[in-house]
Amino acid sequence: MKDVYFVGAIRTAVGKKNGALSSWRPDELFAEVLKGLLGQASVEPSEIEDVICGIVTQVGEQGFVVPRLASLVAGFPETVPGVTVNRQCGSSLTAINMAAAYIASGMRDVVVAGGCEIMSKFAIGAEWFGATLNNGQPAGMPFGPKYLERVGQLTDQGQAAEMIAEKWGISKEECDEFAYNSHQRAAKATQNGLFDREILPLEVEDGEGGKRVHKTDETIRPDTSMEKLAGLKTVFGTKMITAGNSSPISDGASAVLMMSGDKVKELGVKPLARFVGSAVTGADPVLMLTGPIRATELVLNKTGLAMDDLDVIEINEAFSPVPLAWGKEHHPDWEKVNPNGGAISLGHPVGNSGCRLTVTAIHELHRTHKRYGMITLCTGGGMAPATIIENVR
Ligand SMILES: CC(C)(COP(=O)(O)OP(=O)(O)OC[C@H]1O[C@@H](n2cnc3c(N)ncnc32)[C@H](O)[C@@H]1OP(=O)(O)O)[C@@H](O)C(=O)NCCC(=O)NCCS
């Protein structure tokens, strides 16, 4: 197998619901990220053999093949193709893992992987709610009677999060404390400029007919407190899940440029990180969000590494019980877990998050001069990809 490197890693600052990125078209937003990525890496777009982009809600402007449209909008040669992948919240980490497999096998040398999601416009499920068949009848739900017979019941993510909390004995207070710390970490990281190297500043509308530069994640609440979190009403028909201990609806895009070791030498570029290995698993479709537990075991086994070898762990904070239950199984050093906050504070534009976490992990490893990073996310339908990277700078 060939060595696989990351030679560029960039993201937009996350936009809050109806915030800075909410009026953007996905193809135009992803085009900005593609241009920023190639500029950061100093690589010509004609080198790109494919653009793999994770998108969950593939409907309307966010339908067709956004990465193909985006590379043309970016002014890249027409020879640059694109493909969209959907593994729910694991989509863009899957894009990265697929790009790595292409390159490791020798089938491609230069691939862009990324993610894009404007949740403000395209709500989860928008591709089936309200969709119609040619005959005007409702298009129907993806979850059919035989599927329901197999899984027993259909849970939404919030209900699944509460079931996980109950199963692992996690209290509402622990959930709120986790959320509070996420905001504190993200606020501190932002204040100290830790995201500056990974964020592509974008000119956006200021809402008053003018323009402004969007370069700060909008979902962080530096002034939240345990009292405020405790006072929020519960959602999803649960007793403990609130807007405070859930990841917020948000918008964003990100991308990484991945290359074979041979191509790195040929172009004389300086890699940021090495792709070490990946895993993916299915898990209980009702509890749904527990996949990272097994994905972590698998990726550690496949790479021959142990939890103690990992310096930065980015586990997606879809809801507080997800990382907390994972932690009860894997007993991590919590200082290494989401050190600069996670999805609860930094947002979770679903198709974008796996790549966003990878971009953040790469830059955090550089900043701290540490070696290994792991990224993992739970997904709708009960799956989880995981990836390990190594700092090579
Ligand atoms: C949980 C959820 C339903 C909340 O939606 P919402 O009600 O529109 O959320 P908001 O951001 O408006 O927050 C609701 C209220 O809580 C407040 N709030 C939220 N987080 C807070 C915090 N950390 N501290 C203090 N107040 C907070 C907001 O200010 C708002 O107050 P207001 O009603 O007085 O304006 C939505 O964010 C959601 O669906 N999240 C999960 C998305 C998802 O499933 N992703 C995939 C995961 S697998």
Query: Could you read off the pLDDT of 279-294 as tens digits, one per residue?
Result: 999 999 999 999 999 9
Residue 113 Cα to ligand 1 midpoint, Å, equals 29
Ligand 1 site: residues with CB under 6 angstroms? Answer: 89, 157, 221, 224, 228-229, 232, 235, 243-244, 246-249, 318, 348, 350
What's 307-332 look like in SS3?
HHHEEEEEECCCECHHHHHHHHHHCC
Residue 242 Cα to ligand 1 midpoint, Å, equals 7
Catalytic choice (89, 116, 175, 355): 89
Respond yes or no: is residue 369 known to be catalytic. no
Do the domain assignments include residue 130?
no
pLDDT tens per residue, range 227-240: 999 999 999 999 99
Number of domains in the chain: 1
Q: Lowest-confidence range among 59-63, 128-132, 335-339, 367-371?
A: 128-132
Do the domain assignments include residue 12?
yes
Respond yes or no: is residue 214 known to be catalytic. no
Atom of ligand 1 nearest to the CA of 249: 37
Respond yes or no: is residue 116 known to be catalytic. no
Do the domain assignments include residue 167?
no
Cα-flanking dihedrals φ and ψ of residue 329, to 5°?
A: -90, -35
Q: Who contacts 276 (Cβ-Cβ below 8 Å, separation ≥6)?
A: 303, 305, 372, 388, 389, 390
pLDDT tens per residue, range 65-79: 999 999 999 999 999
Q: What pLDDT score does 39 carry?
A: 97
Do the domain assignments include residue 199?
no
Most informative mutation of 236, 249, 322 for ligand 1 (most atoms within 8 A of CB): 249
Q: What pLDDT score does 311 carry?
A: 98
Q: What pLDDT score does 211 carry?
A: 96
Do the domain assignments include residue 320?
yes
pLDDT over 90 (residue 200) = yes
- CATH code, 348: 3.40.47.10
Do the domain assignments include residue 368?
yes
Catalytic choice (183, 330, 348, 363): 348
The residue whose C-alpha atom lies closest to atom 37 belonging to ligand 1 is 248
Asked if 53 contacts 84 with a C-beta cutoff of 8 angstroms, the reply is: yes
Alpha carbons 66 and 14: distance in angstroms, whole number: 19
Name the residue range of residue 84's domain: 4-123+248-391
Do the domain assignments include residue 176?
no
Name the percent of the chain lying above pLDDT 70.
100
Mean pLDDT of 296-300: 99
Alpha carbons 173 and 149: distance in angstroms, whole number: 35
Most informative mutation of 177, 247, 288, 350 for ligand 1 (most atoms within 8 A of CB): 247
Atom of ligand 1 nearest to the CA of 288: 48
Do the domain assignments include residue 358?
yes
Residue 174 binned pLDDT confidence (cut-offs 50, 70, 90): very high
pLDDT over 90 (residue 207) = no
Q: How far is CA 309 from CA 225, 312, 353, 372, in A?
A: 33, 9, 24, 7
Q: What pLDDT score does 130 carry?
A: 85
Average pLDDT, rounded, for the chain: 98
Alpha carbons 89 and 356: distance in angstroms, whole number: 11
The residue whose C-alpha atom lies closest to atom 28 belonging to ligand 1 is 243
Residue 243 Cα to ligand 1 midpoint, Å, equals 3
